[in-house]
Structures are given as C-alpha cells and as structure tokens.
Amino acid sequence: MLEHFSFQYPFTHNPALNDISFRLLPGKTLGIIGPSASGKTSLLYAIAGILQKHFPAGITSGTIARDGTQPVVNPSEIGFVFQDPYMQLSGVTETVETEIAFSLEQLAIPQHIIRARIDEQISQFQLGHLALRHPRSLSGGETRLLALACETAKHPRWLLLDQPTESLHSEGIRFLTTLLNALKLTTNIIMVDHRLEVIAAVCGRVLFLHHGEQQFFGTPPELFTSAIDTNELDIPLWIDAQRQLTGRAETLLYRKSLRMLQQWH
C-alpha cells in the first residue's frame, strides 16, 4: 500500500520519511518500531491522511494508498490515539460517558445507538467505576484507555495507535494486549510502540524505521532472527539472552526460551 513514499515537513532540511514501501494484506496488524524521531508518528499521520491535509506545504513523493485509494481524514473510518492522551480529550464534557459519546454525536449516530456503544465500550474497557468521573480527573493510564475507548466507539475500519503502552503498568499492558488481540479481529490495527514484546504479541507484521528509512519489514520472528542491527531497539530480554548466547533467536516464547537457557551448555 506504500510505494517509495517520502515526505518532508515544511521548513525542515531532511525528509521525515524516506523511500518507504510495503504492502499490508487485509486483516494483518502492523507494528511500527524504531528509536525516537525515526518517523514513526509521521508514518501514522500519512496513513491517516493527516500529513496530506494539515501539512499541505510538505514535499511528497511516491504513492500511498489505504484501501486502494489516496488516504483522506475520514473520522468515521479512522480511530487515532495520540501519544499524549490528555490532548485528545474534547475538554467540553464532564463525564467519561459523555466523552465517549462526543465523537459519536459529531458523526450523527442515533441516540439509542450512542447509548448502546457507551455501555459496550465501558464494559469492554472496564471503565465502569469511572463512568461518572470527570475526564480530566483520571490518571495517565486511565486517560489512555478512555482515549482508546472513544476511538473504538466509532467502530472504525482502521485503528492507529501512537505508543499505546506508555505510562501503563505491566497489569495495564497485559490488559491492553488482550484487548488489542480481540479488536484486531474486526479492525485493522497499526500501532507504534517501544515495547517489542507487545508488538510481537499483537502484530503480524513489523516495520522497523530508522532516521525515516525503512530498515526491515516482515514478521516479528523474522525480525528477531534477522541479522539487521537491532541495538537501538528494546528487544525482549529473553530473546536478547538467546541472541547473546547463540547469536540467534531459537524461540520467541518466554517459557520455551527459559527452558532453552536452562539446558544450554
């Protein structure tokens, strides 16, 4: 869906994205990884159509297509969760419930369906105890879940997530992983994250960006076994341990690799 796609922000000297090409098959989940400032968020913006709409002075080359056409910002089709979830709150609602309703109201969804969606999101994200709290009174992790709930309430075709596990505890990360695995059955998910164990657990494909250039595109196991330089990535440590011992990753599973390490001589 991307072919030799490059993009340079206005007033900058280097392209933020440089010659990126990949094709994501329907139903496959994509994880975008890479060190800071490697163009991950810009790529998400490009897929959402935000770059083309909000940075029209940027220099674009190559082609990009979502569902076969040039991406446009279509709120009913795209759910987008920003890295800073506080920024995403509408700021004009007083409860978690009405916050979830906000974008549905904008999309003119009938009232009874809005109510059904709110109940659905609240049970799915286990926000029941927070339903009547003020959105600004929530903690960082709770706000992140709320931002995600607001976006999935639209039942989007595409869900784009920018660092969804940041500021979550391991318990929250586990909850989110299960949730994303359930969501990916009905939605196309593209996520950016530092935590490779989450990417490996959720995504069928990984794209590794470095300074805006595509270093790798393939499945998570291929990434861990490939010879590319992954020094700047947070490789799960049980995989790193295997690689340091044997030079390659035999297995991606924690238990299996532990057994392997135990028997290693």
- Contact between 169 and other proteins (CB under 8 A)? yes
Tell which one of 61, 111, 123, 178 touches other proteins (CB under 8 A).
111
Q: Choose between 21 and 246: whose C-beta lies nearer to other proteins.
A: 246
Q: Choose between 88 and 121: whose C-beta lies nearer to other proteins.
A: 88
- Contact between 9 and other proteins (CB under 8 A)? no
Give me the DSSP letters along 159-226: EEEESTTTT--HHHHHHHHHHHHHHTTTSEEEEE-S-HHHHHHH-SEEEEEETTEEEEEE-HHHHHHS
- Contact between 245 and other proteins (CB under 8 A)? yes
Q: For residue 143, what are its two tokens?
A: 């706000």
From the CB of 231, what's the least distance to other proteins, in Å? 8
The CA distance from 188 to 186, in Å, is: 7
- Contact between 115 and other proteins (CB under 8 A)? yes
Binding range to other proteins, per CB under 8 A, among 24-32, 60-68, 93-101, 220-228: 93-101
Subset of 48-87 contacting other proteins (CB under 8 A): 48, 50, 53-54, 73, 75-76, 78-80, 82-84, 87
Subset of 203-242 contacting other proteins (CB under 8 A): 231-234, 236-238, 240-241
Tell which one of 21, 59, 61, 107 touches other proteins (CB under 8 A).
107
- Contact between 131 and other proteins (CB under 8 A)? yes
